[in-house]
Amino acid sequence: MLRVVVSMFMILITSHCVEAAAFFKNPKVELALDSNVLYTISDKPTLTGEELWVDDPSRLPRQTHQYLHFKVSVHNELEKLVPVWFSIGFPAMKVLVVTDGVSVWKTGDDSPYSTRPVNAPNYHFPSILSPSSETEFRGYMQGEILRYTFTLGTPEYFNQRYVKTLQRDMAFFGAMALLTALCLVGFITSRNWVFLSFAAFIFSTTFWFFRVFGYAFEILWPSSPYLNDISYALSIYAVLLSAFWVLLQSLAKEGHSVYGAKHIKRFCLLMPFAGLLLWQTLGLDLALRLPVLLFFPFIITAGIVIYVEHKRGSDRAKWLAAAMAPVTFSTLVLTIIALFNVDLYLEPIATFMTGIVLTCLFMVSLTANYMVKVVQRERDTQKRAAKLRSEQTSKLEALVKERTKALEDTNKTLADIASKDSLTNLPNRRTLDLFVDNTFTHGNEEHEVLAVALIDLDHFKSINDTFGHDIGDEVLKTIAELLSPLNNDKQVAARYGGEEFAIVQRYPAYQKTLNDDLDAFAAQLNDVHANINALRIEALQGRTIGASFGWTLCESSSDIVCAFRRADKALYTAKDKGRNVIIKAL
């Protein structure tokens, strides 16, 4: 009670926080918001208005049942609408509610995966920054463990980052799966338990990464969020237990007892029960931190055991020490960063993944080399041993080729996903930009012109407010079905953002045919406009759909930005003239 009173007093004398807006300037980079966020706590999701806001949540004496509220303002310094994702990375919260003043999202680790606004490991909330104005994001979270970081970026930025991350993760999981398979094959053929211990360690580490990266939430139990904590506890304890198993099996010999083996086995038996006891008495956070903290005693114990076994004359001890060096270093980096928030100027996940792969490769290589020698002695023939190595190499090459082909197929699929809008399946803004840029490259500057048209659905917000966002999405998909046939090598019809679409067509810059081409483009816009007006969607209950068009001509790469601005200005002129008309910018 005294600690709570002291903490509240510290809040009173340090809570003169003025909310400082973060400035959004560059859509191509991620905007960090942690230094601009203000926090407060409450016993209920709603606020009374008398709460004290601070810029450091560690000042708040929050209990596990209380709600941590946050708010941050973002000022758009650009003179245009910018679709963005308000992102909460490193998520660890049971309940999470976020609003941008227009939409409200309710999700969290206790909710099914389908509640996430964006299909991604982290929590992303799609919003739109109005030109030269301020948008406030606020919300609250609740749970025994709260870990988070706030950022803001465009969908294109996050999608590009997730493509790279997915490629890295799939390569890692592929390598770990291959190593696990090799270890299992080694165990089946040799009946040597060290192979099985390696397989258990590699598999548990891989599953831990699979759970930490969020793939398990989406693939294995998307509708059973209660399994998140259970699976994480099982995976983290399995990693440490299997590491002890590898230590003992690597040094084991027939008729020889590894130094300290009995005490290590007793400790491994008691550790899961200690974790359960901590969970029930001191909380989930400490129970999950226990195996991470025990990594330091594991390193000391492993070092002592390896040293003693080396002094006893074991050749395996020095090789085991060398094999464990990469994972020991990388795990130390990850643990120090995770527990003590120290910046070591290394990317922790990539460093740990590299250490794991190197250690597993080293251990499998050493064990395979040892087994080859055993086979040579048992069969007493170099020819049979060489044949065995050749067969193993062929299997490895076949598996690598299979994995390489799978990765190539994955990359091709990811490239297709990155070029399409997830809701409408139309080309996205990135594809449109590439089409425009490619028009004026490779010597085409003086030979091509572009007709640029922007389309904005009239009163679309009213449709969302009246009929709901599901119906709004249905309207967008219906419009996309009208525009999709327009896509070809010379023309792109794309979703520009929100309820805006764009049509861009390239023409040869020959004056004799250009006027006829532009007349044909204008006629095409008239047809699109008429088709939109003729749409009848049952869910709209007889309400018609209107659209405002603005279009212009772009004659060079230096005119791209201005051309889109002219088309946008013509679009707003159409809005001012009563909407549902087509305006050409001169």
Q: Which of 309, 448, 499, 500 is catalytic?
A: 499
The model's pTM: 0.52
Residues 325-358 as b or e (16 or more Cβ within 10 Å = b): ebbbbbbbbbbebeeeeeeeeeebbebbbbbbbb
The answer to whether residue 113 scores a pLDDT higher than 70 is yes
Whole-angstrom distance, CA of residue 530 vs CA of residue 545: 10
Tens of pLDDT, residues 327-379:
667 766 666 665 555 555 556 667 767 777 777 777 677 666 766 666 677 76
Q: What is the pLDDT of residue 2?
A: 41
Q: Kindly state the average pLDDT of the residues 503-521.
A: 82
Whole-angstrom distance, CA of residue 470 vs CA of residue 481: 17
**Residue with more model confidence, 15 or 19:** 19
The partner residues of 135 in beta bridges, in order of sequence, read 74
Tens of pLDDT, residues 464-493:
999 999 999 999 999 999 999 999 999 999
Q: Kindly state the average pLDDT of the residues 262-290.
A: 81
The partner residues of 427 in beta bridges, in order of sequence, read 420
Please tell me whether residue 145 adopts helix, strand or coil conformation: coil
CB neighbour list of residue 125: distance below 8 Å, 6 or more residues apart: 85, 86, 87, 98, 100, 103, 105, 117, 118, 137
- 323 touches 363 (CB < 8 A): yes
pLDDT band at 152 (very low <50, low <70, confident <90, very high): very high
pLDDT band at 320 (very low <50, low <70, confident <90, very high): low
Tens of pLDDT, residues 398-456:
877 888 787 777 777 777 777 899 899 999 999 999 898 888 876 555 678 899 999 99
Q: Kindly state the average pLDDT of the residues 309-318.
A: 73
Q: Which residue has the tokens 């709901």?
A: 468
* 35 Cα distance to chain centroid: 22
Tens of pLDDT, residues 374-393:
667 776 666 776 777 778 88
Q: Enumerate the H helices of 380-495 as residue ranges.
A: 382-419, 429-439, 460-467, 469-483
pLDDT band at 15 (very low <50, low <70, confident <90, very high): very low
Which amino acid, one-letter code, is at 107? T
The answer to whether residue 11 scores a pLDDT higher than 70 is no
Which amino acid, one-letter code, is at 16? H
pLDDT band at 548 (very low <50, low <70, confident <90, very high): very high
Tens of pLDDT, residues 78-92:
999 999 999 998 777
Q: How many CB atoms lie within 10 A of CB 73?
A: 17
pLDDT band at 66 (very low <50, low <70, confident <90, very high): very high
Q: Kindly state the average pLDDT of the residues 45-50.
A: 89
Phi, psi dihedral angles at 86 (to 5 degrees): -80, 115
The answer to whether residue 254 scores a pLDDT higher than 90 is no
Give catalytic status of residue 499 as yes or no.
Answer: yes
Percentage helix, strand, coil for the chain under 3-state DSSP, each rounded to 5:
55, 20, 25
Q: What is the pLDDT of residue 6?
A: 41
Q: How many CB atoms lie within 10 A of CB 175?
A: 19
- What are 552's two structure tokens? 């212009």
The answer to whether residue 573 scores a pLDDT higher than 70 is yes
Whole-angstrom distance, CA of residue 532 vs CA of residue 537: 11
The partner residues of 501 in beta bridges, in order of sequence, read 455, 495
**What distances in angstroms separate CA 478 from CA 502, 535, 565, one per listed residue?**
15, 8, 27
Pairing of strands 547-554, 582-584: parallel
Select from 214, 222, 216, 312 the least CA-distant residue to 261.
312
Q: Kindly state the average pLDDT of the residues 104-112.
A: 92
Class of residue 236 by CB neighbours under 10 A (exposed 0-12, middle 13-18, buried 19+): buried
The answer to whether residue 74 scores a pLDDT higher than 90 is yes
- 525 touches 503 (CB < 8 A): yes
Whole-angstrom distance, CA of residue 586 vs CA of residue 518: 13
